[in-house]
Structure 1
């Protein structure tokens, strides 16, 4: 698997990157996905939220976090005191990975493999290098391990503020909102997500005070 690096235009801004991603052939996910789904948000965002991979609705609409998990995230951000309009949202992998249901037309989400995460990582790094956020919020193991290494355990480190390797930013990892939707105790899982996001919000406040 060649990886995306050769497709990422050097020194590009967010709009140029968002246009270039549609020509990416760094892994095979582009063959079945409807389109690449790049990040969205203000170019001066101080907070970047990174998820796993576009879902069914994101793949169809071409925008990140527009499905059920995205709506839950929006609600949790409000409760945590984070202004959603000032946040840039993206995914570690830019193409939807799925398998076709045995019956009907439903597409079942699949977790991207490590090779696909590594192949797509140049796009995520390009976003971070262009935006230069103060804080990166990592949703789920795929996102967290894409930037913090495969040894990082979200279950053990969630809600903690850590330094992002090789970049002047802090990071907070938490569960992906989709896991909240799948939880047997959805309310408890949701409150846990909100508490982790409140930890992230405290970092934002610190950084804003220093400016």
Structure 2
């Protein structure tokens, strides 16, 4: 489905608090109708590293903050093992509203991957965040985040851990290095080999940190 998109809701400024306030009024796609709140990015505007995931989850939707649920706690652990100060990075999602299905009894909200149309509709917010933060490195956590910035045909399995660049059409928002890795939730879902999955995520985060000028 094609949505009108977020472009008309963007303010003129690229100040993060102003962007976050404007995003709360966004009707660029239909996800705002069911989600509890808009979950914008968080972190210092001087961040060298920007982490982008797919969408907020149930706990993020309730709290109004990114990466505060189980995947967020695992991300904190991975960042610590990678030697990256959690407070120094900016975290956000490709989509700012939680998409979900209800469980059979209606009590639980179950994550549902956002559609390509919803990701495209929300992309102006992500690009505005890139313009505001001007990070040296963007870490795409999972395929949806990677495809939001690198194209719908991008395959995480073929380029995971490589140091890439944004497409030319997005360079006006800065020219950070881009590293693609798995989403922390993929580590949580691993029934076997969870330790190996965590180690590989940590390795990718270290590679991202090594791509900053401060390393």
Question: Into which bin does the TM-score normalised by the smaller protein fall?
Answer: over 0.9
The answer to whether the aligner puts 1:184 opposite 2:191 as a matched pair is: yes
Partner residue in 1 for 2:63: 61
* Separation in structure 2 between the aligned mates of residue 158 and residue 59 of structure 1, nearest angstrom: 28
Structure 1 unaligned spans of 5+: none
Structure with the largest fraction of helix: 1
TM-score normalised by length of structure 2 = 0.94
Query: Which residue of 41, 46, 54 maps to 2:43?
Result: 41
Structure 1 residue 43: deviation in Å?
1.3
Tell me how many residue pairs correspond in the alignment. 207
- Note if contact 2:43-2:87 (Cα within 8 Å) is conserved in structure 1: yes
Secondary structure at the aligned position of 1:23 is classed as: coil
Structure 2 unaligned spans of 5+: none
* Separation in structure 2 between the aligned mates of residue 135 and residue 49 of structure 1, nearest angstrom: 9
**Which deviates more, 120-129 or 102-111?**
102-111
* Separation in structure 2 between the aligned mates of residue 187 and residue 12 of structure 1, nearest angstrom: 39
The answer to whether the aligner puts 1:201 opposite 2:209 as a matched pair is: yes
Moved over 2 A (4+): none
Structure 1 residue 184: deviation in Å?
2.0
CA-based RMSD of the aligned residues comes to 1.0
Partner residue in 2 for 1:143: 145
* Separation in structure 2 between the aligned mates of residue 174 and residue 95 of structure 1, nearest angstrom: 22
Query: Which residue of 7, 10, 29 maps to 2:9?
Result: 7
Structure 1 residue 10: deviation in Å?
2.1
Structure 1 residue 81: deviation in Å?
1.2
